[in-house]
Structure 1
Amino acid sequence: MQSFILKGDYIQLIQLLKAMSWVEHGAMAQLAVEEGLVKCNGQVDYRKRLKVKVGDIIEFDGQQVKIV
């Protein structure tokens, strides 16, 4: 599992996908979320603007990242 150091209170889910280089651009990130390909703390989440915070675990395409 990878770690992502959060600077600030939160990062939006689609921004995190781009920051992790799991997608090439924002449109791809939005599509992945809309299609239910992203999990937050073990559950599929369809909110593109979801505020990901410290302690959350995001899963996408067989990869995981913990927000620290």
Structure 2
Amino acid sequence: MKIVEITKEPVELYKILKFEGIVSSGGEAKAVIDDGQVLVNGEIEKRKRKKIMSGDVIKFMDDEFKVLLK
């Protein structure tokens, strides 16, 4: 599991996918979320602007990321 450090919370889900390089663009981030390919804390998340907090776990494809406040 990889660690994603954020400096403030909450952060919108699509922004984490974009800025961490998990996907190549914000548009792609929104598309994979809309397609149900992203899980947050084990649940399929379809809200692009879902507020992510420290301690949340994001899963996309075979990668898992734990979000921690820096």
Name the TM-score, length of structure 2 as normaliser: 0.93
Residue matched to 1:28: 28
Residue matched to 2:17: 17
Q: Which has the higher strand share?
A: 2
Q: Aligned pairs, how many?
A: 68
> CA offset at residue 41 of structure 1?
0.1
Residue matched to 1:49: 49
* CA RMSD in angstroms, aligned pairs only: 0.7
Q: Does 1:64 align with 2:61?
A: no
Identical-residue share of aligned pairs (%): 29
Which portions of structure 1, spanning 4 or more consecutive aligned residues, are displaced by more than 4 angstroms? none
> CA offset at residue 10 of structure 1?
1.5
Cα deviation, 1:35-60, whole Å, max 9, x if unaligned, reads 00000000001000001000000000
Residue matched to 1:8: 8
**For structure 1, which runs of at least 5 residues remain unmatched after alignment?**
none
**For structure 2, which runs of at least 5 residues remain unmatched after alignment?**
none
